[in-house]
Structure 1
């Protein structure tokens, strides 16, 4: 689906493909692109066929490429499909940037995109009139800012998980820890190259990026640095939680081993005593030896328990 926002006489005219041929600064958005739609857009704006091919094949790496009459930019972000913070949906956005037009191509709808589209229509003077690079800034800023709530929810769940581990250890907790660790790896894999891409856009002298817009892209770069720092902090905390889980499991195992050892220690001398006094000696059938046997059987374990408590083994 192709949607066009055309700046004409200081007002934004929105519509479909019929606006592609009209002159004026414009923003063209293509959602769920087909080969036919991209061919028409490529023919109208002179897009390079390699960049168009990338738009039709997802799972591209965040990048910035220079072509004769435009730049091709790939940015990515995540949303959560449910309350599960590890249930991530990858959003891949492709941008073609020139002095008088911006083309955004994406497969899935995105909340940040709707907010930018509404702002462009309501206030063209503060958006599209400032340049297509400023619209690109707003889209990239919305894409990056949407990652903060996900990482905040991740940190809250990780903190609750850490408390639950020290409360009671469960096997399901270890599975959840590794799921969260994989989620962080996915975040890092995407945001690491994306930070470099936005860093290039924030430098002066980049084609089709004005000096005023570089200041705004620098703000997006700062947000990506903050996200990267949160990811690194999350990785450290995940490592600490894993160590805490293993420590609690080891302590529980040691506690069980200690209890079994104590029971074995109590019954070992009793087995000896019963075996010794159970011998078929005539002298052992007297009343004195009978009382001595029961006194030893009862008294020896009691003495061992008191000794264990004195040593703080119980």
Structure 2
């Protein structure tokens, strides 16, 4: 468990570890990889509810906002992606918001927290002086904004996949479509309830959230709406890609069936001619019948080919 503390003290931002917990002033306490004993000590110091502490120790919580006697407990989630856009890592963040302090708890490192910390250190008046709820806004905003590049990469890959399908559909394209579909479903499952949580924080009357800060949470809500619209758009395009793949495979199957039918039709009269003139009868023997047989063997296929061209079948 690693604790980093930022305290606004006498107009300056002090940064350090647990030694700053007793310093007076607005505090932001960031907890990385929490463990139960240390988190319980922190809970006793700030009177955190045991149910909220228990939620921090068990990941895969649903995004939510819960009110307790002296603080709010907020769960927000996001994703980080590796080189493969479908290889997503869930970033689950828990927040305890008090009158003049904010405790952020997360299991995995997140570079957005470092960005906010540098901003707090460089611009104390524009950040920490506005209150702990404004730091919560900054963290929520950076968490949500990190999702846009993932969906942009998803859109680019989907566009390339569509082009590849219409050029030459292959089996691995279908597998990739299903992988992208699962990725999009995961995104929607996480971001859909999160809109309600941020929507609550953008309303007036929530304890420990100033009225002026609700305007900033409204901006985060707008970003979530945009993300949700991108997800719906991506789902529609993904459905079009699936339809395009199935259409290309069906057309390819029809072309193969058509070619095989043409070959079978060409050889069908030949089989009949060979079978008919190959009968062991004296009446069918002789030079005339021999030349007639070869004339029909050559004439029938040529006539069929011209007929198929006339009908535009080949």
Does the TM-score normalized on the shorter chain lie above 0.5? yes
Q: Which residue of 2 aligns with 1:53?
A: 54
Map of 1:149-298 to 2, 5 A cutoff? 149-298=149-298
- Aligned residue pairs total 313
Find out whether 1:8 has 2:14 as its counterpart.
Answer: no
CA contact (8 A) 1:165 1:173 kept: yes
Relative to the length of structure 2, the TM-score reads 0.98
Q: Which residue of 1 aligns with 2:34?
A: 33
1-side partners of 2:309 and 2:159: how far apart?
Answer: 36
Offset of residue 112 of structure 1 = 1.0
**Long gaps (5+) in structure 1:** none
CA contact (8 A) 1:7 1:13 kept: yes
1-side partners of 2:24 and 2:215: how far apart?
Answer: 29
2-side partners of 1:17 and 1:111: how far apart?
Answer: 21
Offset of residue 281 of structure 1 = 2.0
Moved more, 255-264 or 223-232: 255-264
Q: Which residue of 1 aligns with 2:106?
A: 106
Q: Deviations over 1:278-298 (max 9, x none)?
A: 111223222221111001001
CA RMSD of aligned residues (A): 0.7
Secondary structure of 1:236's match? helix
Offset of residue 21 of structure 1 = 2.0
Secondary structure of 1:115's match? helix
Relative to the length of structure 1, the TM-score reads 0.98
Offset of residue 88 of structure 1 = 0.4
Offset of residue 169 of structure 1 = 1.1
Secondary structure of 2:24's match? coil
Offset of residue 123 of structure 1 = 1.1
Offset of residue 204 of structure 1 = 1.1
Runs of 4+ in 1 over 6 A off after TM superposition: none
Q: Which residue of 2 aligns with 1:70?
A: 71
Map of 1:82-97 to 2, 5 A cutoff? 82-97=82-97
Moved more, 176-185 or 209-218: 209-218
Secondary structure of 1:12's match? strand
**Long gaps (5+) in structure 2:** none
Secondary structure of 2:125's match? helix
